[in-house]
Amino acid sequence: MALNLVMLGPPGAGKGTQAERFARDHGIPKVSTGDILREAVHSGSELGVAVKELMARGELVGDDLITGIVRERLSRPDAVAGFVLDGFPRTAFQATALDEILAERGPVICVEIQVPDEELVRRVRSRRVCEDCGANADAFEHKLGALPDLCQNTERCRSIGPKWVARSDDSEAVVRERLKIYWRDTKPMIDFYKSRPTFRVIDGLQTPEQVREALVSAVASALGMPASQLRSMVMKKLSGVHVPPRGVRQG
């Protein structure tokens, strides 16, 4: 059975953190629209040039553009047996398009992580990422001022030196703009998913480990099985599967 998981929630809720862990633990790709766009900006591609300013202001990029990117990414062979989608959909247009893209592809589990706004602002303002590979420094684990000297994510990061930076859209003013857009455009779209039997909500104020466990339970319950059954299904599948290294930008 395909494991199609959509992570929903506001900026800073922990979608990326949990999507990455879930994808790694379950041997499926993490598809993050934010990561794809940031990689494009980083590489200076045509797409990156087109979206750079919009992203820095915290605005959404065009529905058609981002939907085309997701459609292409989910059509690749590695996503056929499942995926974790992070950052998409964000508007009613995108939600409708996703239904169309995923028609005939098995159940789609939607999990919303809920966190109060002030905690979101705190988290996002303290977030640091590796300027080279985009990996999150996990500021909540290392605390600012006590970050490991070098990003440990790739050989290149380990050799070129420390480059922990704030994301260009993580200033307080831009985060508040992103939250405004979230409450205006995305939250009503999430409410639309609530009536579906595979929709679940998680309390994102728990520790990352607790959220991780809650996510596994939520997915298992949406699939109508105990978490232990999901785990053993995954263990069977993972024997022999190559799992990509943690936090590497995916495009």
Q: Is 178 considered catalytic here?
A: yes
Q: Is residue 15 near ligand AP5 by the rule CB under 6 A?
A: yes
Q: Is residue 13 near ligand AP5 by the rule CB under 6 A?
A: yes
Binding test (CB under 6 A) with ligand AP5, winner from 84, 108, 112, 169:
169
Burial tier of 99 (Cβ tally within 10 Å: 0-12, 13-18, 19+): exposed
CA–CA distances in Å: residue 223 to residues 13, 74, 217, 229: 23, 21, 10, 10
Give the β-pairing of 30-32 and 108-114: unpaired
CA–CA distances in Å: residue 121 to residues 28, 110, 115, 179: 30, 24, 10, 9
Binding test (CB under 6 A) with ligand AP5, winner from 54, 92, 101, 147:
54
Give the residue with the Cβ less far from ligand AP5, 4 or 94.
94
Calpha distance 33→27 (Å, rounded): 19
Helix (H) or strand (E) holding 3: strand 3-8
Catalytic position from the list 21, 127, 200, 212: 127
Q: Is residue 82 near ligand AP5 by the rule CB under 6 A?
A: no
**Choices 52-60, 100-108, 143-151, 220-228 (CB under 6 A): range interacting with ligand AP5:** 52-60
Give the β-pairing of 129-130 and 164-165: antiparallel
Q: Is residue 212 near ligand AP5 by the rule CB under 6 A?
A: no
Least distance (Å) between residue 224 CB and ligand AP5: 27
Q: Is 15 considered catalytic here?
A: yes
**Choices 86-94, 194-202, 217-225, 232-240 (CB under 6 A): range interacting with ligand AP5:** 86-94
Residues that are catalytic = 15, 90, 127, 167, 178
